Amino acid sequence: MTYYKKLVGNKCYLSPICEESAQNWTKWDNDLEVAVPLGDEAYNNYPLQKIKEIIGNCIEKQDHIFDIIMTDNDEHIGRCLLFEVNHINRRATLGIVIGEKQYWNNGYGHEATNLLLDYGFNLLNLQNIMLGVLSFNQRAISCYRKVGFKEIGRRRKARLINGRWYDLVYMDMLNEEFESIYVKHCLSIGRDQ
């Protein structure tokens, strides 16, 4: 499979999604350990054909969705996206999943989130990027805090899973709170030539 290095970090890079990604997306969205923290993916039925259709629609609409690819071996390990993009009010919502569980807790989500924020703030010129995360997902909440997101509120008892209620934690970041990694580097290369 051919990937394209849109934004590159040390551990991973973001590549525009492609139809061949459907196999991995289907695997992740049907693995409850991966899907339950995401939300809707856990209770929706996502066969391969439906995922191919979703990816095709996203490509056609030029949605801001990327595959997360490891830099050292081009392995596809996750996806991330900016959705609900509002160019008038310069805001969007962020989503991310590292679908390959052997890469959890190794910094890939942290780096991919930073790359996606760089894209949103410095190429899409957004002012505010927010996200929602279920309160039991402490691994994700910790990652988002390390990146610089701040909690801005909660929807209490927002999701019922296995007879237990969980809050939906809302977090956001402003453009001025983010330090560019990749885009700033690309601009300095252009000035040096």
For the stretch 55-110, pLDDT in tens is: 999 999 999 999 999 999 999 999 999 999 999 999 999 999 999 999 999 999 99
C-alpha to C-alpha distance for 92 and 86, rounded to whole angstroms: 6
C-alpha to C-alpha distance for 182 and 30, rounded to whole angstroms: 33
What structural domains and CATH numbers belong to the chain? 7-192 (3.40.630.30)
Q: Are the CB atoms for 108 and 96 separated by under 8 Å?
A: no
Helix-strand-coil split of the chain, %, nearest 5:
40, 35, 25
- Token pair in block for residue 99: 């679908």
User: What amino acid positions are annotated as catalytic residues?
Assistant: 144
Q: Give pTM, 2 decimals.
A: 0.92
The band of 188, judged by pLDDT with boundaries at 50, 70 and 90, is low
C-alpha to C-alpha distance for 154 and 133, rounded to whole angstroms: 10
The band of 184, judged by pLDDT with boundaries at 50, 70 and 90, is confident
Coil, strand, or helix at residue 60?
helix
